[in-house]
Structure 1
C-alpha cells in the first residue's frame, strides 16, 4: 500500500484534484454539469471525487459499504465547508435513491464487481430518465 493511501486526507485531496482536472472536463464534453446536477458516487470512499462537484453547486451523494470511509468523507467535507450526503450501505439496497440522479461516478469500483452487466442494470435504476 502506498503512503498516500494510508494518509486519508492526502488521498482525499489527490482524488479531488484528479476529479477537478480530468473527470469533470471530460464529463462536460458530453453533458452539462453544474448547480443542481444530482451526482451519485458508488464506492465513494472518503468522498474526494465529489468535492469539486459540490463546489460547483451539484447535489452530491456518496455511498460506500465501509463505515470508516463514510465517517472520513463527512469529516473532510465539513473541513472544506462543502455540502454532501454520505451513506454507509450497499447502494442497491437504498430504494429511496432510485431514479434520483443525473450522473453516476464509479472510480476504482467496477473492476471489483463480478457481474458487471447486473451492476450496470442496477445503476440504470438509480438514474433519472435522461441521466448518464
Structure 2
C-alpha cells in the first residue's frame, strides 16, 4: 500500500475503497463472478494439490508455492490462494484494478504483490512461478500463442498453468454474448468478441505450441434452473478450463 499512498490522495483512496466494496459484494454487480468463483476455486485447488502433492485439509496447503494470477481484477482468486498459503503475485493490464485489489487485500489482512503489468513484461524480467492462473484472459489478447508462450516462460520446470476461456460455437454466441451482455446485462456490451473465442482443441494445440503439456480439461456449466455452476467432464460447450504442465 505504500506505493498507492504515494501516488493518490485520500479522496482517491476513498473512491478505491468504495469500488472495492462493490467488487466484493456477492449480491452486487459482480454477482455472476461470485457465483462462478467457488467452482473455479474447486478446480484450481484440486489441480494444484494433485500436481504438487498437497493436502487440501492442511491449514495452509500451498505454503512454499509461488503463484501468479494473470488478469487478477479485484483479487477474487488471488485472495483465497494467499489464504491457502501461496506467495501470490496478482497482475492486471487494467491500471485501475490494482489499487482496488490492494485496498481489499489490506482490509483483509493479506499480503499480496499486486502489479499493473503483463505476462510478457514479467517474463522479460525473468520472473518464475510454480503456478500460473490464467483465467478468462486468452480470449482478450491479440496474439494467443505469444501470450501463452509468455505464460510458459513464467513457469518453473514442472510448473502448472490453469487456463480457462470460452468455446467458439453457436451456443457460446447465444449464451456468452446475447445472454450475458444483452439479456442478463451481466457484462457491458462488447466485452467479448465471439470470433476471438477459442475451441478446446484449438487451445490444446496452442498450449502445446507454447511448450506446455495439457493434462486435463473440464467444462464450467451454468444451470439456469438452480442458478448454480458446476464442473462437467463432458460439457465444454461454453465455459471451460484446462490444466497444463511444463515438463522438466
User: Which residues of structure 1 form unaligned runs of 5+?
Assistant: 1-5
User: Which residues of structure 2 form unaligned runs of 5+?
Assistant: 1-20, 55-61, 161-248
Name the residue aligned to 1:24. Answer: 45
Question: TM-score, normalising length from structure 2?
Answer: 0.46
For 1:116 and 1:22, how far apart are their aligned partners in 2? Answer: 23
Q: Does 1:60 align with 2:88?
A: yes
For 1:127 and 1:26, how far apart are their aligned partners in 2? Answer: 15
Q: Deviation per CA, 1:84-117, whole angstroms, max 9, x where unpaired?
A: 1000122312333x25100100111111123222
**What pairs up with 1:74-89 in 2 under 5 angstroms?**
74-89=102-117
**What pairs up with 1:1-132 in 2 under 5 angstroms?**
7-10=22-25, 11=30, 14=34, 17-32=38-53, 34-94=62-122, 95-96=124-125, 98-132=126-160
Report the RMSD for the aligned CA atoms in angstroms: 2.4
For 1:105 and 1:45, how far apart are their aligned partners in 2? Answer: 12
Which stretch of the first structure deviates more once superposed, 10-19 or 57-66?
10-19
1:62 CA drift (Å): 0.7
Question: TM-score, normalising length from structure 1?
Answer: 0.81
For 1:79 and 1:18, how far apart are their aligned partners in 2? Answer: 25
1:78 CA drift (Å): 0.9
In terms of fraction of residues, the more strand-rich structure is: 2
The aligned length equals 126
Higher-Rg structure is 2
| Contact 1:99/1:128 (<8 A) preserved | no
